[in-house]
Structure 1
Amino acid sequence: MRFKFFVAFLTVALLVPSFAKADAEEILRQCRLAITDPEKIDQNPILAGIDIGFCFGYLRGLSDYSTGTAFMSEEQKNMIKSCRPERVDNKQLARIVVQFLEDNPSYHHLEQTTLVALALKQAFPCS
């Protein structure tokens, strides 16, 4: 079990920095703001809301993915695996997910994590 965890951690540690736009200082700043005194947030509520939303969204997305794939076999993981090009931005990802959901209403009963994974797999299949 520890070896599997180590392999998963190492994979994330090696892959995430190459794709993620946020570095350690940025995510630390954003997440500190999410747990800080409300008076700091009141200084610039619009930017604070963006930063807090990014922190929570980033954490939730990675947490959902990690939890959702924890007990999957390699075959199952390959069914949802996608290979996103490096220069894809968040707006393009949102367009891809929206288009997928609009085109596939019969999938709407599935969990969010699965829906996003399927949309990204369709848009960015691994060769």
Structure 2
Amino acid sequence: MRLSVLAIALGLLAPVQAHAQVTFYVTGASLLTACEKDSLFCIGYVTGVIDGLTWGQPTTLCIPDEVKNTQLVRVVKKYLQDNPGRLHLNATVQIADAVQGTWPCQK
């Protein structure tokens, strides 16, 4: 009996390999909160995402050259505020949607 209890206890202490995939990304909600607290972080995050989406590849983002980073941030914040039902989604997708909705590419 003692041997069985010891075997069960050791079995419970053995490492278990998890099969769940953990995914981390910034949501629209967390980006909006961060942008309301720290404008420098917000500018860096938004412009970094846009740079990442447009660097060295064809893109569907057609931001006019005269648009400043502060204007990009205002567009993204307004989009997030106007679409509360999407705040749980990935912020990168929402940044792209905000930019495409504001400055659609000319065909």
TM-score bracket, normalised by the shorter chain, equals 0.3 to 0.5
Query: Radius of gyration: which is bigger?
Result: 2
Structure with higher helix content: 1
What is the TM-score with the length of structure 1 in the denominator? 0.40
Q: Provide TM-score, normalisation by structure 2.
A: 0.47
Greater relative contact order (CA < 8 Å, ≥ 6 in sequence): 2
